[in-house]
Structure formats: C-alpha cells, structure tokens
Amino acid sequence: MNRKILALMIAVVVVCLLAFSAIALSLSPFQGTPEELDFTVSGTNECLRFLNSTVSTAYVPFVTGANENWQLTINCTKMPGGTNGWTDVYICRGYWDMGKNYTCMSEDLYPILKEIESADAQIRIGAPYIAIFGGAIPQSYTVFFIFPPGGQATFQVILKQV
C-alpha cells in the first residue's frame, strides 16, 4: 500500500514538473534570434471592439538582441475612411505567434489579454506607427492592431535594426 502511494506521488511530481517545463518554454520571452521583417497584411472587420471574439487582429512578434535597437514601422497603405480612418496599437512584452500569417481573431488573445497594453498610438494613412525597441538585454515583444471596420485595410510592416 505504501509503495503504491509513493509511486503515485512520484508520478504526480514528474507530471507536474513536465507540465511546468512545457509552460515555461512556451512562455519564454526569447523565441529565436532577431531578424528583419518586411511584409504586408490586410483585413477587414465589422466591429472595432477588441474584446469582441470575432474581431480580426494583426500582430507582429519579434525579438531584440542584447545592446541592439530595432525600429518597427507600421505604415497604412489602405484605410477605410481614408485620412479620417485610424486604428489603435497595442503591445505585449513577450513573444506571441499563435495566429497565421500575422493575423488572428481577438478571441485567440484572451489567454494573454492581461499582458496586452495600449501603446498610446494610432496608425493612420500618412501617420505610421514608428517605435524603437531594444536595450541592454534581449527582449521580446508582440505588437497588435485591429483591422478597422468599413472596408479593406492594408498595412506594411517593417522591422529593421538601427
């Protein structure tokens, strides 16, 4: 009887350690090496509410190396509403790449919603989002923005070392 309890306790500890290791690796802030990005992403929405589960969202995951600075530019080339159209920018300190082709649905972000903060910035035609990321230690980030409602929107994303 005592051997069965001991064996069960050991099995539970091993399973817990394996689960903890898997979670720690999946949440690791450093996913790969820094690399330049240059891509275009397009989409549309019926709604601009971030918490609505069916809102189409674009994201840019990236890492920076130690003592490196990287410039992220998100330029809107097509926006519903023209120069009056806009979308907000959000940021997560951590690497998230659970979507496809740099897009996801907002419901995919529910597990990390607490880590996503407003970047206090907007993207408009002629007014891109430009920010410098980096520092003394390697960092990882994911920048999010919602495709605005009212028609097709297209954004060019460029990440380059500066």
Query: Is 130 found in the same domain as 87?
Result: yes
pLDDT in tens, 13-28: 555 444 444 444 444 4
Q: Are residues 23 and 61 in the same domain?
A: no
Are the CB atoms for 152 and 77 separated by under 8 Å?
Answer: no
Predicted model pTM? 0.78
**Consecutive sets of 10 residues in the chain, 162 residues long: mean pLDDT of each?**
64 50 45 86 82 89 96 97 93 96 95 95 97 96 94 97 96
Do the Cβ atoms of 87 and 62 come closer than 8 Å? no
Task: Note down the domain range covering 63.
Answer: 37-161
Domain with residue 152: its CATH number is 2.60.120
Angle at 18 between CA 20 and CA 105, to 5 degrees: 55
Q: How many domains are contained in the chain?
A: 2
Q: Are 41 and 26 in the same domain?
A: no
pLDDT for res 17: 45
Please write the tens of the pLDDT for every residue from 123-151: 999 999 999 999 999 999 999 999 999 89
